Amino acid sequence: SSPLPSPPFAAQQTRPHPGQSPLAPGSPMDFEMQSYPSAGSSSTNAYASPSTFTASSSNATETHRNSADWSMSSPVTTPLVMIKHEEYTLTPDQERFLQQHHHHPCLWGDCRQSFSNFDALTSHLSEDHIGTGKSEYICEWTNCDRRGRGFGQRQKAMRHIQTHTGDKPFQCQVCQKRFSEANIMAQHMRTHTGEKPYKCTEPGCGRQFSISGALTIHRRVHTGEKPFKCKFEGCDKWFAESSNLTKHLRVHTGERPFQCPYVGCDKWFSRPDQVTRHKKTHLTEDEKMALIMAEKEAEWRKRL
């Protein structure tokens, strides 16, 4: 089969220009898109079987709006595109190009509107679905693993939605990681610079942090404050961090929302760190050694 033509794009471009035609005339547009491991994955079969999304150049928008079987790939997956009986494995740049320039569907509840770029989709979600002035913001994205658990702040709900749409327009120029918001990338940059501008003022402590939220949580070590209480009857546990309360609640509910992504493994876990530890059991000896070396290097950099 012939190679897929490389699309025109700029290295730093993250969204199409208004009115830009992303594909040259005559480019094959009938395709089937599936979610597969991102480039650089240590295993060629690392992720579970994907769901499928189909579209056609002649009726792409209508197909987008009517299909009930879509699944948007998350930020940890990238598409493999099959052009009418011919299969191509895309380069990372081609994958990004397709993600950025093809239609972006809204999978909120029964909504199946399609948009030409992330900005339009995000605006639609913000205005038509998320809204404002609510006491709780619940994600209704199809197959959302939060299962109806809401957010107290609108900003957190919008940030969560980006895990579904995959919109990460801000890129770190050091390690190439991508982020959904500029301020999150700014916080990330401190992992490279080592900057820790937030210092604990408790006498004798002096610990410093790269983000203000970490300092707020740390201060509770000194004050003993635990503002988050378990809601289950008969349980009187309180927590200093909301994330720890969330983990604790699964002791009562038995919920295990995090699945091992390896094909053939059906294990589920209550916390993402448990999945991280479990995934190491699937690694080869060489992969385990490489991971150990990477962890040691990361620890060494933290001490600089």
10 Å Cβ neighbour count for 167? 23
Tokens, residue 228: 């988050």
Confidence at residue 304, expressed as pLDDT on a 0 to 100 scale: 65
Q: How many angstroms separate the Cα of 145 from the Cα of each of 31, 48, 113, 148, 161?
A: 28, 16, 22, 8, 12
Query: Which residue spans within the chain are E strands per DSSP?
Result: 31-37, 52-55, 77-83, 86-88, 104-105, 114-115, 170-171, 178-179, 198-199, 208-209, 228-229, 238-239, 258-259, 268-269
Identity at 59, one-letter amino acid code? N
Segment 175-192 shows an average pLDDT of 86
Q: pLDDT: is 181 or 217 the higher one?
A: 217
Segment 228-257 shows an average pLDDT of 91
Q: pLDDT: is 166 or 90 the higher one?
A: 166
Long-range contact pairs involving 178-187 (C-beta distance under 8 Å, separation at least 24): 178/75, 187/211
Write the CB contacts of 302 (distance below 8 Å, at least 6 apart in sequence): none
Closest by Cα among 219, 115, 110, 228 to 165: 115
Condensed to tens digits (0 to 9), the pLDDT of residues 237-249 reads 999 998 889 889 9
Q: Is 170 left (phi over 0), alpha (psi -120 to 50) or beta?
A: beta
For the question of whether the overall pTM of this predicted structure is more than 0.95, the answer is no
Q: How confident is the model at residue 30 (pLDDT cuts 50, 70, 90)?
A: very low
Confidence at residue 180, expressed as pLDDT on a 0 to 100 scale: 78
Range of lowest pLDDT (8-17, 113-122, 150-159, 211-220): 8-17
Give yes or no for residue 174 having a pLDDT over 70: yes
d(C-alpha 23, C-alpha 94), whole Å: 12
d(C-alpha 10, C-alpha 171), whole Å: 14
Confidence at residue 159, expressed as pLDDT on a 0 to 100 scale: 85
Q: Is residue 143 a contact partner of residue 109, using CB atoms and an 8 Å limit? A: no
d(C-alpha 12, C-alpha 14), whole Å: 6
* Domains located in the chain, CATH noted: 45-167 (3.30.160.60), 193-303 (3.30.160.60)
Look up tokens 């005559």; give the residue.
26
Average pLDDT of the residues of the chain? 71
